[in-house]
């Protein structure tokens, strides 16, 4: 979901001290790529690695129509120094459906930085993977507290496409298994096929209206819930478990959080915040997908999210992640009614060719209907 910041320390090794090779990854690179993903944690209060075990390329197959991964390595010793991927997914843009690229997993080996000539070659080769029928821009996200990466990319590195900020995206991490009061007058149940087809019709209608919409992978649903009042369908959602092919692992805590972790875990039953696991422990996360509600029925959507967080503990999930664009009207309900931790990222349209002003304004002001599982 985010870009790793380049290493800014004075002792960073310039990778240009030896000849570099920039090339597209092949199946034989799988082990080296997974090792770099395990080693390169993202900064912040909780240092996390985004891993793809047991098969990097198979995991990308789950999430895209096609994909390319670029590698930067030392030409003499074949040491993997950096990487980045581009996943192509179907996207809706103001009613039209077409392929859209998503840039992710940009990682640089700890203690290294790339010379400008290698950066330029990497952008050129990644851009060469684009096809003519794809959108003129790609999408990417950068964690809001990753100020160094955002500053560098917004300013523009040699040969890179232009980064246009189009909005912020909020992720809520909800603890699972917590008993909460049942809502008055709302019936919660697992979805039957007829009701679920109606929920999917609601989702499709929103996608057709959105300035930009991404649906995420079709596989991995482990739970489907609906809310009714006197037989009338109010809301629905599904929970996706991507842990068989994509994992979050805690690699460290920063500042006071490291010392406060045991105390915070003792009080989490009262606060409703998720447990902070030990370093090296994976986070077993479910992701909310296909969330939809009838007009004015935000309370039913909140009730469904509470029910999903309670039930997914029985599926072996520690966290339930809910994502939405910051300007989504449902977001205010989530922030004020659901306990948990919140994380913000910034969304960018990465323009390989100029974006017309009306199209860019539509992205900045319109509905960004982006499933968390697609980012």
Distance between CA 220 and CA 241 in Å, rounded? Answer: 5
Polymer length in residues for the chain: 375
102, 374 Cβ separation under 8 angstroms: yes
How far apart (Å, rounded) are the C-alpha atoms in residues 39 and 33? 10
Question: CA–CA separation, 74 vs 196, rounded Å?
Answer: 51
Answer yes or no: is pLDDT of 157 > 90. Answer: no
Look at residue 227 and give its three-state secondary structure.
strand
Residue 98: pLDDT over 90: yes
Mean pLDDT of 20-28: 95
Q: Is 360 helix (H, G, I), strand (E, B) or coil?
A: helix
> What does the alpha-carbon distance between residue 147 and residue 158 come to, in Å, rounded to a whole number?
19
pTM: 0.90
User: In this structure, are residues 310 and 177 in contact, taking their beta carbons and an 8 Å threshold?
Assistant: yes
Is the pLDDT higher at 194 or at 11? 194
**Average pLDDT of 234-241?**
98
Whole-number Å distance between alpha carbons of 172 and 344: 9
What pLDDT does residue 42 have? 82
Task: Name the more confident of 6 and 2.
Answer: 6
> Does residue 234 have a pLDDT over 60?
yes
pLDDT of residue 271: 66
CA distance 300 to 305: 9
CA 270 → CA 32, 175, 273, 305, 320, distances in Å?
Answer: 43, 12, 8, 19, 18
26-44 tens-digit pLDDT: 999 999 999 999 999 987 7
What is the 3 state secondary structure string of 164-222? EEEEEEEEEEEECCCCCCCCCCCEEEECCHHHHHHHHHHHHHHHHHCCEEECCCCCCEE
Query: Residue 28, Cβ neighbours under 10 Å: how many?
Result: 7
How many whole angstroms separate alpha carbon 189 and alpha carbon 307? 9
Residue 318 CA, distance from chain mean position: 18
Note the pLDDT of residue 274: 77
User: Nearest-CA neighbor of 349 among 164, 169, 194, 127?
Assistant: 164
Interval 162-218: pLDDT, tens: 999 999 999 999 989 877 677 788 999 999 999 999 999 999 999 999 999 999 998
Retrieve residue 289's tokens: 């997908």
pLDDT per residue as tens digits for the range 103-142: 999 999 988 888 888 889 999 999 999 999 999 999 999 9
Between CA 278 and CA 261 the distance in angstroms is: 9
What's the rounded Cα separation, in Å, for the pair 113 and 148? 13
Measured between alpha carbons, how far is 11 from 325 in angstroms, rounded to an integer?
A: 38
Per residue in 310-356, pLDDT (tens digit) is: 999 999 998 999 999 999 999 999 988 887 788 899 999 999 999 99
The separation between CA 34 and the C-alpha centre of its own chain, rounded to angstroms, equals: 18
- Do the bridges between strand 282-283 and strand 80-93 make them parallel or antiparallel, or are there none, so unpaired? unpaired
For residue 259, pLDDT over 50 is answered with yes
Integer Cα distance of 242 and 247 in angstroms: 7
Looking at residue 9, what is its pLDDT?
39
What is the helix (H) or strand (E) element at residue 348, kind and residue range? strand 341-351
pLDDT value of residue 278: 86
Largest CA distance in the chain: 71
How far is the C-alpha of 113 from the C-alpha of 302, rounded, in Å? 45
């Amino acid at each position: 979901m985010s870009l790793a910041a380049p290493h800014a320390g004075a002792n960073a090794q310039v990778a240009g001290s030896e000849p570099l090779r920039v090339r597209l990854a092949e199946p034989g690179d799988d082990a080296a790529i997974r090792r770099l993903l395990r080693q390169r944690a993202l900064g912040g209060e909780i240092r996390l690695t985004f891993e793809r075990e047991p098969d990097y390329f198979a995991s990308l197959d789950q999430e895209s129509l096609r994909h390319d991964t670029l590698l930067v390595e030392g030409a003499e010793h074949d040491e993997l120094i950096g990487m980045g991927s581009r996943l192509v997914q179907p996207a809706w843009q103001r009613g039209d459906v077409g392929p859209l690229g998503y840039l992710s997993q940009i990682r640089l080996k700890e203690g290294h930085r790339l010379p400008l000539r290698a950066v330029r070659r990497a952008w050129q080769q990644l851009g060469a993977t684009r096809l003519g029928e794809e959108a003129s821009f790609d999408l990417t996200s950068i964690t809001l507290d990753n100020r160094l990466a955002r500053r560098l990319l917004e300013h523009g590195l040699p040969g890179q496409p232009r980064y246009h900020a189009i909005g912020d995206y909020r992720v809520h991490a909800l603890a699972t298994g917590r008993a909460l009061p049942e809502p008055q007058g709302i019936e919660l149940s697992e979805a039957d096929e007829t009701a679920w087809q109606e929920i999917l019709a609601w989702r499709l209608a929103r996608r057709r209206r959105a300035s930009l919409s991404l649906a995420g992978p079709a596989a991995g649903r482990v739970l489907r819930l609906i809310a009714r009042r006197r037989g009338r369908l109010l809301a629905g959602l599904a929970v996706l478990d991507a842990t068989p092919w994509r994992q979050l692992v805690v690699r460290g805590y920063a500042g006071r959080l490291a010392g406060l972790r045991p105390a915070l875990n003792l009080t989490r039953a009262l606060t409703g915040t998720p447990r902070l696991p030990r370093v090296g422990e994976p986070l077993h996360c479910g992701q909310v997908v296909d969330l939809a509600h009838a007009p004015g029925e935000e309370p039913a959507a909140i009730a469904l999210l509470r029910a999903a967080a309670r039930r997914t503990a029985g599926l072996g999930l520690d966290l339930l992640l809910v994502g939405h664009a910051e300007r989504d009207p449902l977001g205010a309900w989530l922030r004020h009614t659901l306990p948990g931790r919140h994380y913000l990222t910034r969304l960018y349209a990465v323009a390989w060719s100029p974006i017309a002003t009306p199209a860019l304004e539509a992205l900045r002001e319109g509905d960004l209907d982006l499933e968390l599982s697609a980012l």
